[in-house]
Amino acid sequence: MIEYIKICRPDHWLKNIFILFGHVVALALVMNFQFTGHHVWMALLSLVPACLIASANYVLNEILDAPFDAMHPTKKLRGIPAGKVKVSILWWIKAGLIIGGFAFAWACHFNWAYHASLLLLLISGVAYNVRPLRLKDRAFMDVIAESFNNPIRLWLGYYALVEPHTVPPASIVLAWWFFGALLMTGKRYAEFRFIGDAELSGRYRRSFQTYTEKSLILAMITYANLFCFCTGIAMATYPRLNNLVFVFPFIVAAVLAYFHHAMKTENAKLEPEQLMQSPLVIVFTLLTGVLTLWLLMAETNYAKAAHLLGPLSW
């Protein structure tokens, strides 16, 4: 049983913490931080269906990737390539997770936009893993497709609290997408170096036949710049977000810490998921989160007061 649970990857449910970002966007731009215990309860409940659908996608991923995982230095020890589980049972588990996820969302009375976002999360897993699309085999498209789960999680968090007649700003959605692409490209870069054999890595993942260390580094720089660009637009456009200009140095520091950790020679031997465990990355991420919440709830527009946005008045 433990092997079947491992394939559902409950340890990866932590990624759904990004749904909280959608909650914060709704609270800041729509609800003006006016919320009740009911909103808190709905925010917590919104994590459950997302975790179940994510696990269904992980099961599909493991089933279809088993022949390729058999060529990976460590993934060859997973349940399917190691012969520890039965694929027929995994298909039933996948079906149960999908039914359970949508049934739970329906029982909690989430609106249609939340259900649509949940369906989009499921479809994203299919497009990423299943032929003829199988976007994970296409260089750069694999990162763009996988990181699209970031906007989906934003919508899940957003529509768990507000009705579908409002939509989160495109600048914020795109910034969150590019941020995810930055993290996913860093993961590809670490994985590419971890395998350390161009021929073997190309057999394991077709996109690695196209990637090089240089192209992956350039992609990370591109996504970092696009993330900062879209974030800057959102901060300058929405008065409630003006104060976040003071958070920007911490965001840049967190991105630099991530780059520094991903590019260390010794970290080529780490599994990709370990990239986010750098103490510097964790510290700057926590500082950014705390400062962001404090500035969002501040009554004073410090950015305007400091003349950081808009012309000076004489």
The pLDDT of residue 265: 60
Among residues 215, 153, 228, 154, the alpha carbon closest in space to that of 188 is found at: 215
- At 93, the pLDDT band (50, 70, 90 cuts) reads very high
- At 48, the pLDDT band (50, 70, 90 cuts) reads very high
The pLDDT of residue 76: 73
The pLDDT of residue 197: 65
pLDDT tens for each residue of 279-289: 777 777 788 88
pLDDT tens for each residue of 129-186: 888 888 888 888 999 999 999 999 999 999 999 999 999 999 999 999 999 999 888 8
- Of the candidate ranges 4-8, 90-94, 265-269, the one whose mean pLDDT is the lowest: 265-269
The pLDDT of residue 274: 57
Residue 189, pLDDT above cutoff 60: yes
* CA gap 37, 46 in Å, rounded: 14
Topology of the domain comprising 1-164: Tetracycline Repressor; domain 2 (1.10.357)
The pLDDT of residue 298: 85
**If you count them, how many residues does the chain have?**
314
* CA gap 242, 305 in Å, rounded: 11
Which positions ≥6 away from 157 have C-beta within 8 Å? 18, 19, 20, 21, 22, 23, 24, 25, 26, 43, 46
The pLDDT of residue 7: 87
* CA gap 20, 27 in Å, rounded: 10
The pLDDT of residue 161: 97
The pLDDT of residue 212: 84
* Mean pLDDT of all residues belonging to the chain: 86
Average pLDDT over residues 288-305: 85
Alpha-carbon radius of gyration of the chain: 21
**Termini Cα distance of the chain:** 72
pLDDT tens for each residue of 50-72: 999 999 999 999 898 877 767 76
* CA gap 125, 115 in Å, rounded: 16
The pLDDT of residue 184: 87
The three-state DSSP-derived secondary structure of 95-111 is HHHHHHHHHHHHHCCCC
* CA gap 189, 211 in Å, rounded: 9
The pLDDT of residue 306: 73
The pLDDT of residue 309: 73
pLDDT tens for each residue of 194-247: 776 666 666 667 777 888 888 998 999 999 999 999 999 999 899 899 999 898
pLDDT tens for each residue of 246-288: 988 888 887 787 777 767 665 554 554 555 566 777 777 788 8
pLDDT tens for each residue of 172-182: 999 999 999 99
Average pLDDT over residues 14-24: 90
Which positions ≥6 away from 48 have C-beta within 8 Å? 101, 104
Q: Higher model confidence: residue 205 or residue 297?
A: 297
What does the chain look like in DSSP terms, one character per residue?
A: -HHHHHHH-GGGGGGGGGHHHHHHHHHHHTSTT---HHHHHHHHHTHHHHHHHHHHHHHHHHHHHHHHHTTSTTGGGSTTTTT-S-HHHHHHHHHHHHHHHHHHHHHTT--HHHHHHHHHHHHHHHHHHSTTT-GGGSTTHHHHHHHTHHHHHHHHHHHTTS-TT----HHHHHHHHHHHHHHHHHHHHHHHHHH--HHHHHHH-GGGGT--HHHHHHHHHHHHHHHHHHHHHHHHH-GGGGGGGGTHHHHHHHHHHHHHHHT-GGGGGS-GGGGGG-HHHHHHHHHHHHHHHHHHS-SS-HHHHTT-SS----
